[in-house]
Amino acid sequence: MPCAPSLPCHVTFSRIEIHHLPQIVDIEQRSFTSPWSLRQFAMELARPYGDSIIMADEDDGRVLGYALWWVVLDEVEILNVAVNPDFRRRGLGRLLLTELIARADLNGGRTFFLEVRPSNLAAQALYDSLGFQPVGVRPLYYADSGEDALLMRLTIE
């Protein structure tokens, strides 16, 4: 059985394609209180400065996680990252972000930014463990709750 609770998943990475979007939207809806729509994902995939990856189960092709980001000069804005809720707490988020950082680095990305809810302590702990540090607050960032966003940055050499 792929991705058994006691075993790591065998995963592959590739760019997000249109046919992945139904699975991605399902994960998105189960992960966020203000999920992106299918249209929003499609618009991001069309941006010339945007990039994306899915992490899929090598055995059955099921999407386990995804990430989208922009690279502008040497700055990377991480827009959206999620792991399928059924497969969390297995190191897949770390694996996904490590792959994102490596790919963006190949395209000249040196400084990475992301926003995270202050209430999302699990995500903050993951980002912190990868070297991201809080650098500011975006007031009233989340429209659904009025919650601020914690701005985090990672700089690589």
Give SS3 for 8: coil
Q: Which of 99, 115, 142, 147 is catalytic?
A: 115
- What would the mean pLDDT of 7-36 be, rounded to a whole number? 91
Look at 89 and 54; give whichever has higher pLDDT: 54
Tokens 């701005």, residue? 151
56, two tokens: 């899929």
**Which pLDDT does position 16 carry in this prediction?**
97
- Residue at 100 is within a domain: yes
- Residue at 2 is within a domain: no
- What would the mean pLDDT of 121-133 be, rounded to a whole number? 95
- Residue at 61 is within a domain: yes
Contacts of 91 (CB under 8 A, 6+ apart): 8
Active site residue 115: yes
* 154 touches 132 (CB < 8 A): yes
CATH number for the domain including 54? 3.40.630.30
* Containing structural domain, residue 62: 11-155
pLDDT band, very low/low/confident/very high, at 42 (cuts 50, 70, 90): very high
- Residue at 93 is within a domain: yes
**Which pLDDT does position 9 carry in this prediction?**
61
- Residue at 114 is within a domain: yes
- Residue at 4 is within a domain: no
Active site residue 127: yes
- What would the mean pLDDT of 120-149 be, rounded to a whole number? 92
* 29 touches 35 (CB < 8 A): yes
- Residue at 89 is within a domain: yes
Q: Which of 28, 44, 66, 127 is catalytic?
A: 127
- Residue at 6 is within a domain: no
The pLDDT tens digits of the residues spanning 62-106 come to 999 999 999 999 999 999 999 999 999 889 999 999 999 999 988
**Which pLDDT does position 8 carry in this prediction?**
52
Q: What's the number of domains the chain is made of? A: 1
